[in-house]
Amino acid sequence: MDLLNTLVDKGLRRELPTREEALAVLATSDDELLDVVAAAGKVRRQWFGRRVKLNYLVNLKSGLCPEDCSYCSQRLGSKAEILKYTWLKPDDASKAAAAGVAGGAKRVCLVASGRGPTDRDVDRVSETISAIKEQNEGVEVCACLGLLSDGQAERLRSAGADAYNHNLNTSEATYGDICTTHDFSDRVSTVQQAQAAGMSACSGLIAGMGETDADLVDVVFALRELDPDSVPVNFLIPFEGTPLAKEWNLTPQRALRILAMVRFVCPDIEVRLAGGREVHLRSMQPLALHLVNSLFLGDYLTSEGQAGKDDLAMIADAGFEVEGTDTTTLPEHRRG
């Protein structure tokens, strides 16, 4: 296909595709799917070889969130049956992180529910970061605490946070349909604060919430404009007790096309296979490794993931290798 040849050439040159080309990837047929995966795989291998970065999530604080994000089991008014608890102590969080590191994780992601941290919360997380780094040499720590206030990004960076995650989730045009307690610009601002403080920005999306192809392309282009180092791609898990409980819009083929589109738009950025991969990709997960270069190991915030040993076996069987702490994830031109 001329489209795929053009996209590969652009990806190898780090050139942004047009919106029309990105939309065309999403519109390809199932008969063309393997060609799409193979083309995007060339771009993935150019910048990341056959390496797969493993990330491990530690849920520091679960449930009872005042925000009304429709996709989230921890949202205001959620009836989802999830575990609810307040802040983990630093030692307990560090022990949880150590389990992920022992399984091969290179980055630990510290997540807390809520609109954003108080200054006391930042102190708590700072203690946790110190504890994790003292016990796990070379591990990266990413914080995901919601919307940041003035000065908090700098404090987290000083405490040793390497990265900060705050997803855009969906297009600006449809953001108000999934959340009314904050807006798209609040999320953009938090990502920019993290970058200004010297942290590596991690920001991604959720697919499968009833969005159009144009919405998907819009949010990925908005991410590319923000230029994060990592883009997690989540697939909606329709939790019972949330407004999106009946949104089952994805097939494995659709999920793969979305990942390929993200790779073409973000050729030299870490693309991470995140929540919902087991539910929506199912037996086609190994194909996704030709598109992404990063994934979460084990469980997510309020849902179970694939067993870590099965992830490691899948990576090896597909001919990929786990990225070690002695290897820098990003290509040389993106470092620093």
Q: Any idea which residues carry the catalytic annotation? A: 65, 69, 72, 109, 142, 202, 272
How far, in Å, CA of 58 to CA of 76, rounded?
21
DSSP label at residue 174: G
Strand partners, 142: 109, 163
DSSP H or E run through 319: none
d(CA 184, CA 226): 13
The DSSP element (H or E) to which 119 belongs, if any, is helix 119-135
Residue 196 CA to residue 194 CA, distance in Å, equals: 5
Both tokens assigned to 63: 């449930």
CA angle 155, 157, 161 (to 5 degrees): 120
Write out the two tokens for 275: 């929540």
Q: Which two tokens stand for residue 294?
A: 């990063």
List the structure tokens of 234: 């989540």
The 8 Å CB, 24+ separation contacts for 25-32 are 25/257, 25/260, 25/261, 25/264, 26/213, 26/216, 26/217, 26/257, 26/258, 26/261, 27/213, 28/257, 30/253, 32/1
